[in-house]
Structure 1
Amino acid sequence: MVGVTPGLRKIYLLSVTLFMLAGWTALGVGAYFISTPFMRREAVLTHTPIWVAIGIGISMSVSSIIGFIVAFSRHKARTKIAFFIALISVILVITLCLGAYVWFQTLNVRTLYEDRWKEWTDTLKEAFQSNDNCCGYKSTLDSPAFSDTCTKEIVYNGLLSPCEDKILQYVNTYLRNIYTTLFLYTAVDVLTMLAALMLDQTLKDQFRYEKSVAKMINLHNISMSQDQQQISEPQMQMQMRRQNHISVTAPRRSLLPNASIHNYSVIHGQHQ
């Protein structure tokens, strides 16, 4: 008997549960980042990828509901699981693209942030200078933000180290954590998709099996009806022969008394 085994159902449910928890995590972290802006984080992570992460979290949460419905529903199960697989595919592509985008940024961090430092506001520069106890980017004279940490005396005398190495270390660590998390999300997506594909193949085999059984039952019923017709045909022929025999012999029996009466009357008339 082809069907969904308890082991396969358990694997599928575990993968969908993991998929749902990953979606909730992405949604929660994204909402936290949006609601609590942090100056140094904003230098690395803009609002656009954060909103993309929130969208991924919402999509994964909604898709997991469909995945759970598939596990306990037989009505149009294959249609639902095909839709679930399509959603996972879209989420997988978006997550993979976002992870690749973050990873490629790490390859050009030194040049990228050298240009960005010149575009940053004094408030953002001061956030790094005060936290890392540094001044300027490549040197204390490289576009510093004057403050209590980075005074004119410190700037012109070079009394503090520049911020370049500390900024690059912070950015690389932050970006590495982000793209590692995103690639872990792609692994969760792939695992869930494999479980869904296994369930889809099992449902497909079950559908074919049930269809073949129904076809065999239909053929058996047809053959049984044909056999009954073949058995009943001789009986019908015998019944028709009996009816024909009765219809032929019955008039002859009715003529004999009439002929006898007629002969008797003729003979009796001659004697008179």
Structure 2
Amino acid sequence: MRAVNVSTSSPMTVNLSIQISFGFLLALYLGTGIAALAVGGYFIHTEENSRRSIIVTKNVIALLFVAGAYIVVNAIVGIIAGLSPLSRKRWLQAYIWLIVVTMAVETGAGIWLWLRTLDINDLYGHNWRYLWSDSFKRTFQDSAHCCGYLGPLDGPVMESPSCQMPGHAFGCMTAVQKYAQSYISYIYTGVFLFVFLSLGAMVSGMVMIVVRNDEERWRWTRANAIFRSMKQISPDLAMFTGERRKEELDTQNSIV
């Protein structure tokens, strides 16, 4: 009988390829958190007159820092679980649920960006007239050689050379929209990439739990088979082995 020849104290193992896949996807997931922190740190040093400020606001930068820190902490939980997946099932479960929260936030951010594009004309028209500084508006006027939002009479910065040159009577609305849409497309790509990597990390964690549970179930099957075989040989020895095995399992559970 196969189980009789296997010790009940034999260590549980996880297939090496599964461990490598888990570690690789975990590293990519950790990379998204580090990237979010790096991008937030880069944008926080952006000058107020940078055109990126129409998309990368202070709230967006704060969100990048919070999301990046959260993902890094989540990845650390995954690293702790991955170092000993067979004895840290709860850590694996926590790792997966934390990724679910990450994916929900990332998906929500994508939906929020999409909603912003629905009223992009009114949004940036209002911002141009009432919120953006003259230095910020002049950045668009100088780069796109335009004047005002809809035209020279719609919130222009007259000090800009483009407003003083004859024949430049068109506004900056098209330039603002094109820049915003092109930048939003980059953000869309980044958000969807983050969601894809988060999904991969979550699936690898779920696979690790399934493999771990199967290995634990197989170990219990072997232990029970050995116990039944020993009971047939010597009831006293079986009782002693069963009690010893129970003590070992209690010790392992207390450690977990």
TM-score clears 0.5: yes
Instruction: Answer 1 or 2: which has greater helix percent.
Output: 1
Q: Any runs of at least 4 consecutive aligned residues in structure 1 with deviations exceeding 4 A, and if so which?
A: none
TM-score where L is the length of structure 1 = 0.75
Equivalent in the alignment of 2:114: 103
Higher alpha-carbon deviation: 70-79 or 28-37: 70-79
Structure 1 SS opposite 2:91: helix
Structure-1 residue corresponding to 2:83: 72
Alignment equivalent of 1:20, drawn from 21, 26, 30? 30
Task: Name 1:58's counterpart in structure 2.
Answer: 69
Change (3 A) 1:219 1:37: farther
Contact persistence 1:134–1:161 (CA under 8 A): yes
2:208 is aligned with 1:196: no
Answer yes or no: is the 8 Å Cα contact 1:3–1:202 preserved in 2.
no
Distance 1:137 1:222, change over 3 A: same
Alignment match, 1:185? 194
Deviations 1:111-143 (A, max 9, x none): 221222211222221121122221011111112
The one-character-per-residue Cα deviations of 1:184-207 (angstroms, maximum 9, x if unpaired) are: 100000011111111111001111
Is it true that 1:37 corresponds to 2:43 in the alignment? no
Distance 2:235 2:15 in 1: 39
Alignment deviations for residues 178-237 of structure 1 (CA, whole Å, 9 cap, x no partner): 122111100000011111111111001111111222223333333333499xxxxxxxxx
Tell whether 2:123 aligns with 1:82: no
Q: Is the 8 A contact 1:13 1:71 kept in 2?
A: yes
Letter aligned with residue 154 of structure 2: D
User: 2:85 and 2:104 mapped to 1: Cα distance?
Assistant: 29
Larger radius of gyration: 1
227 and 56 in structure 1: CA distance in 2 versus 1, 3 angstrom threshold = closer
Q: Map residues 133-152 of structure 1 onto 2, 5 A cutoff.
A: 133-151=145-163
* Rounded Cα–Cα distance in structure 1 between residues aligned with 2:171 and 2:236: 99
**Identity between Structure 1 and Structure 2 (%):** 27
Q: Residue by residue, what CA displacement relative to the aligned partner does 1:228-250 show, whole Å, maximum 9, x if unpaired?
A: 9xxxxxxxxxxxxxxxxxxxxxx
Please, what TM-score do these two structures have when normalized by structure 2? 0.80
Q: Using CA pairs under 8 Å that are at least 6 residues apart, name the structure with larger relative contact order, 1 or 2.
A: 2
* Unmatched 5+ stretches in structure 1: 229-272
Matched, 1:123 2:132: no
Give 1:22 shift.
1.7
Give RMSD over aligned pairs: 2.3
**Aligned residue identity for 1:4:** V
| SS of 1:10 mapped into structure 2 | helix
